[in-house]
Amino acid sequence: MINVGIIGAGAVVRRGHLPALKDMKEINVKAIADIDENLAKNVAREFQIPSFCSEPLKIIKDPSIDLIDICTPSDTHCELIKLAAQEGKNILVEKPLTTTIEDALQAYHAVVEAGVKLNVVQNWRYFPAVFQVKERINQGYLGKIVGMEGVALTNFPTAWTRSKWLYSQGGVLFDFAPHLIDLMIWLNGSEVKAVYALGGDITGGNMGFVNHAQVIMEFDNGATATAIISWVTESFTFTVDVYGTGGNITLDVRNAHYYEMHGAQTPLDDIRRVIGKTLRVTKDILNKNYFKGAMLYYKPLIRDFIKSIKENREEPVPIRHGVMVTAVLDGAFRSLRKRQAIYLDNIFDIA
């Protein structure tokens, strides 16, 4: 049995983490902390958690707790990770790992030096179609990856949470964009060495934070990629197109469908693609999974993390990958301000 202490009692905990954790026999959620003690109390009552408090350190220092689940605002992650690592706790942390390269590297060194395990919550990569695309790429069906194009268009996060912390200067870059950047790096299988971004505040500065951006990445393996990210379009789109020397794949993550192309396409291919996607979506609607979306995939991600702890093997989304995602996001934010490319070479050599 693994005893878990949760830091944070916001929407992502109530809708994602706790339903998954409470449904796992090998997990015992022992305590929850939130700066709003009444919220912690109410969530503890709703999910039958024995203990609650307003002080995270109380949970982190509890010797009976094995794993700390960090679900607080992103700019608080670094200090909580360092404290948990110092206490020898394994760590599950919501995306993004942190919001700056400096914080990400501090967290990285703390985890490595303490010899604990950390997993970043990137549950969107657990959609079955995403795993299938990763397998096709790994097996060489697309040849050498040349380019990628990702699109993450969402509305402002008011439908998800009334909290204001997401509306920091980085804005949309640190909301849904970590899921897109995670997938693009993971599918390509190479780290990013340079980032250039365009965009910013579509209102000319009235909002005071980034609400749309186009992020251009150059990978160590020579591939390039573009990520289009927005809060200000009236749609929800999450797609990744992968272009290789031997073929292309269009991945519609939200609709759990991908289509692989080789050679010239005809109208018949377009028809097959539409029919395949329609059947895929219809099946998910009928089995009532479609509108649960990514909420379905907290449990398998956490289960894989627990397995990595027990078997002492690499985590599903290890901290090094989390650092790379943060480096791209922070690099994009810096690029928007400086209007120049940001180079990420050898970031892991930085003390």
Q: What is the set of domains in the chain, with CATH numbers?
A: 2-124+299-317 (3.40.50.720), 125-293+326-343 (3.30.360.10)
Question: Beta strand pairing status for 27-33 and 145-153?
Answer: unpaired
The pLDDT > 90 percentage for the chain reads 83
Residue 109 DSSP code: H
The pLDDT > 70 percentage for the chain reads 99
Q: Nearest Cα to 300, choosing from 283, 316, 288?
A: 316
* Tokens of residue 275, six digits: 């029919």
Burial (CB count within 10 angstroms: exposed 0-12, middle 13-18, buried 19+), residue 316: buried
Q: What pLDDT does 351 receive? A: 40
User: To 5 degrees, how large is the angle CA 189–CA 96–CA 88?
Assistant: 95
What is the distance between the alpha carbons of residues 161 and 274, in angstroms, rounded to a whole number?
34
* Tokens of residue 214, six digits: 């186009």
Q: What pLDDT does 31 receive? A: 98
Q: What pLDDT does 290 receive? A: 78
Give per-residue pLDDT as tens, 79-111. Answer: 999 999 999 999 999 999 999 999 999 999 999
Residues of the chain with pLDDT under 70: 349-351
3-state secondary structure of 327: helix
Q: What pLDDT does 2 receive? A: 95
Burial (CB count within 10 angstroms: exposed 0-12, middle 13-18, buried 19+), residue 75: middle
Question: Beta strand pairing status for 27-33 and 192-200?
Answer: unpaired
Q: What pLDDT does 334 receive? A: 96
231 vs 97, 167, 228, 338, CA distance in Å? 21, 11, 11, 22
Q: What pLDDT does 349 receive? A: 64
- How many residues in total does the chain contain? 351
Q: What pLDDT does 11 receive? A: 92
Give per-residue pLDDT as tens, 278-300. Answer: 887 788 788 777 777 889 999 99
What is the distance between the alpha carbons of residues 225 and 249, in angstroms, rounded to a whole number?
14
